Amino acid sequence: MVVLFLVAVAAVAIAVDVVLGLAYLWSSTGLVLPKGTAPGTLSLLKFVPKELYLGGAAVTAGIIFVVSIISVAKLADGGSAVAEMIGARRVAPDTRDPLERRLRNVVEEMAIASGVRVPGVYVMDGESGINAFAAGWDVSNSVVAVTRGTLETLTRDELQGVIGHEFSHILNGDMRLNIRLIGVLAGIVFIGSIGEFLMRSVRGSRSRNTGGIFLVGLAIFVIGYIGLFFARLIKAAVSRQREFLADASSVQFTRNPDGIAGALDQIRSASAFIANRYAEEMSHMFFGQSLKLWLGGLFDTHPPIDERIRRVRPGFQPSAYRGRRAAAAPPPAAGAEPAFGRAAGLAGAAAEAAPAAGRRGADLGTKWGRSAGESARLVGSAESAKLDYAAGLLASLPAALREAVRHEEGACAAIVALLLAPKEDVLQQQTEALEAAGLGETASRARGIAPLTRPLGAAYRLPLVDLALPAVKTASADRKQALLRAIEAAIHADRRVSLHEFVVLTLVREQLAAKRRPGTGENRRIVQLEAEALTLLGLVARAGVRPEPGGEGERRFQAALAAGAREMGLEKAGTAAPASLTIEAAAKALEALRELAPLQKAILIKGLFVAVTADGTIRVAEAELMRMIGAVLDCPLPPLLEAVDPATLAA
């Protein structure tokens, strides 16, 4: 891509220089040529001052780079900026439209299953074609948008296949590259806009130079199409193989090749074209080919539909599939979609068993047979078993709680309710602390929701926070700050901070914090952040060790710490625990470690897994901690205990 971009810049600069040379010759009246000069335009261009060529090339390159930088800056808000650019409408968490509710359900299932924060959901109301895209600078602040035609045409399985495809782009890091392409390529095609401006500027003018200016504008406008040629070539080169990968990932995620194959078949019988004026700039981001182009085989950003279907579903028979295909009818009532996919049986069992699960789930875990490398490869993974688990877990949540977190006030109250103690004396302390902070109304709402959250197990905590965050993120800045103050007041009321409280506070604080400028940081090595890595390692190692008599627990802790340090290449740093392990120190360490380079983050995650599974098992609290760390570091981890029935994972 970089090579093609530089070639494009050079080609546009050369073309501009040719136009400038011709303009110079046109305007020169006393040009004297040496004897023996061969006639012809190319020969004459050699006598144009070199300073004009150098200046023209420099200005052209400068314009391209400046416009690209400005375009990238305009997209600093990431996915929401891209969605708004194309005119998409954000779907409210509490939407009553049955098709939009079905879309939100599918997105929420996949977000919980993959460890990604629930993306913002958008609909392109004016588009009747079948298409979709995902956008964002990072996985925690992504968006998924679909056309109205997608909602009205596709069945649930087909919609799930499309959303699975878009989640592949989220998990594989394609989104950041795609947004950069929008900004970078804007500079290449901008030259054509200058030519168009020059042609418009001389309309109606009777000046003697009008013809020359018009021709210069026309020439520059044509040059713009040189930029467009390279822009389309770059997008095609970058996009095609990623589309094959996303299709395959969708099948792996949903375990249903007919879903995405059926969606592609519907595009074949209908259309995926986008009418919006930004369809050209965003053509590489869509699920299907959004434009009809000349020389399609060269410029198409997507592989042929027949080839995509053949790869995901060999032997697919369109006529047979269409004959058994269910109608794309909406659910019978708003929000009444039952069953969350294939996990209906699990959901029903979980719903019945959850209230009676008691407190035994806090220490419940499972054997961990994965190596450090296998554990780290869970980052960004998408497996159908986890989708089933997530669907069952979500379906077993009380309906009243699911509805509450779709609203701003209920979402904030639900997060605080997760932190309220079951003991009446501690609960009273928390209530008084909230009232003293001027948050009495929040305390009242949280206590009202607490009967719904208290019976739930530890496995429900992060999913419930994830379900609440979309509504919280739409709140005002004052409301967000009030929520953070409420969380801190509830946590510190009893003068101690549990691991669960640390996880909730850190995750919510990170999600509501002002986002860093895209592309900053993420280039440091673990050895440069040695103290921070050991602090986080100490937290994880301590979480995996229970107090035991005779100092055995401390020995296990030191062994886990040493094993994790060796995996990170920090064995020379010593294996002693950090002098003080406070919530503030752990939060600062985690924030600093966000600046690690991507492959360095992989090493960190491997070391943390070594420490947390040093005893060969992983408990619910440990899994919750690891998933929170992955979320903050932009390394999403799926549910780690999907083999355990969520109904048994009570706190």
Instruction: Indicate which residues carry an active-site annotation.
Output: 166
Q: Which amino acid is at 307?
A: E
Strand-pairing partners, residue 123, are 89, 146
Answer for the pair 165, 287: CB distance below 8 angstroms, yes or no. yes
Measure the CA–CA gap between 112 and 395, rounded to whole angstroms: 12
Q: Which strand ranges, in their side-by-side order, compose the sheet holding 143-147?
A: 89-90, 120-124, 143-147, 132-135
The torsion angles phi and psi of 509, rounded to 5 degrees, stand at -60, -45
Residue of 6, 11, 383, 428 lying closest to 168 (CA atoms):
383
**Residue among 27, 431, 399, 16 at smallest CA distance from 192:** 16
- Taking the mean position of all CA atoms in its chain, how far away is CA 394? 21
Left, alpha or beta for 613 (phi > 0: left; psi -120 to 50: alpha)?
A: alpha
C-alpha to C-alpha distance for 166 and 245, rounded to whole angstroms: 11
User: What is the secondary structure of 139-201 as a DSSP string?
Assistant: GGG-EEEEEHHHHHH--HHHHHHHHHHHHHHHHTTHHHHHHHHHHHHHHHHHHHHHHHHHHHH
Residue 636: name the closest of 140, 120, 160 by CA: 140
Q: What is the 3-state secondary structure (H, E, C) of 31-94?
A: CCCCCCCCCCHHHHHCCCCHHHHHHHHHHHHHHHHHHHHHHHHHCCCCHHHHHHHCCCEECCCC
| Angle subtended at Cα 252 by Cα 248 and Cα 253, rounded to the nearest 5 degrees | 115
The whole-angstrom separation of Cα 543 and Cα 539 is 6
Q: Which two tokens stand for residue 414?
A: 């639900």
- Sheet strands (E) in 215-296: none
Q: Which residue has the tokens 């009893």?
A: 494
Instruction: Provide the terminal-to-terminal Cα distance of the chain, rounded to the nearest Å.
Output: 50
486 near 439, Cβ under 8 Å? Answer: yes
In whole angstroms, what is the distance from residue 545 CA to residue 548 CA?
9
Whether 361 contacts 406, CB under 8 Å? no
**Phi, psi angle pair for 489, to nearest 5°:** -65, -45
**Backbone torsions φ then ψ of 331, nearest 5 degrees:** -60, 160
Q: How far is CA 526 from the centre of its chain?
A: 25
Residue 89, Ramachandran bin (φ over 0: left; ψ between -120 and 50: alpha; else beta): beta
Buried-exposed string 509-521: b where 16+ CB fall within 10 A, e elsewhere: bbbbeeeeebeee
Quick one: which of 628, 534, 590, 516 has its CA closest to 77?
516
**b/e 272-294 (16+ beta carbons within 10 angstroms → b):** bbbebeebbbbbbbbbbbbbeee
Residue 523 makes CB contacts below 8 A (sequence gap 6+) with 595, 597
